[in-house]
A = this chain, B = another copy of it.
Amino acid sequence: MRHTPAGPELDRLISLLAKLPGFGPRSAKRAALHLLRKRQEVMEPLALALTQAAEKVVTCSICGNWDSVDPCAICANQTRQTGIICVVEDVGDLWAMERSGAHKGLYHVLGGVISPLDGVSADDLNIASLAQRASAGGVKEIVLATSATIDGQTTAHYLQERLENLGVELTRLSHGVPVGGELDHLDEGTLAAALKSRRPL
């Protein structure tokens, strides 16, 4: 199918851009026009950056993070607390944790969540390597930072059962009112959780 009255190169570019998350056929067309207007400033550098990132970025053999080096910069960083491992679903969640600046330890990226509906079982995730790291000694605490979704919580439960006899403390993120969030716009589940785990002033 031709997307535009333009040539096959432009057509192909638009159909590939439309595969980016948040992009549809319409925004892909707008992006393609923008790129063609800025060939030297954006289009050619972007082509190069895509090629280089596809070549260079590898999965860290220790934690599953993505970086240009293996082990990744976080695993190789001598100043991080090696006794705490924060378990996240994917690299995007790791970045979110790093943005908060609150976690000074290491990470373990599962690469997804257990989801019978999507055909993802525990064996499809980086769980064996997590158990190995946990039992290798030196790890005091594992923070299960999977999402507060059904699949995320199922995965956390599974990890809890799998890891609880290794002599490592297991913790999870607290539930509560988001900082800056209005009570009025909050769902009942979160409000109930925030009330339940209320703290003295």
Contacts and interface: CB of A to CB of B under 8 A. Distances in A.
A22 B30 contact: yes
Contacts of A5: 65, 67, 72-74, 94-95, 98
Contacts of A56: 7, 9
The A interface, classified by DSSP as helix, strand, loop or mixed, is: helix
A13 B53 CA distance: 7
A132 to B, nearest CB: 23
A51 B10 CA distance: 11
A166 interface: no
A193 to B, nearest CB: 26
Given A16-B49, A91-B33, A66 B10 contact: yes
A57 B23 CA distance: 22
A12 interface: yes
B95 A49 contact: no
A53 B10 contact: yes
Contacts of A7: 56-57, 67-69, 73
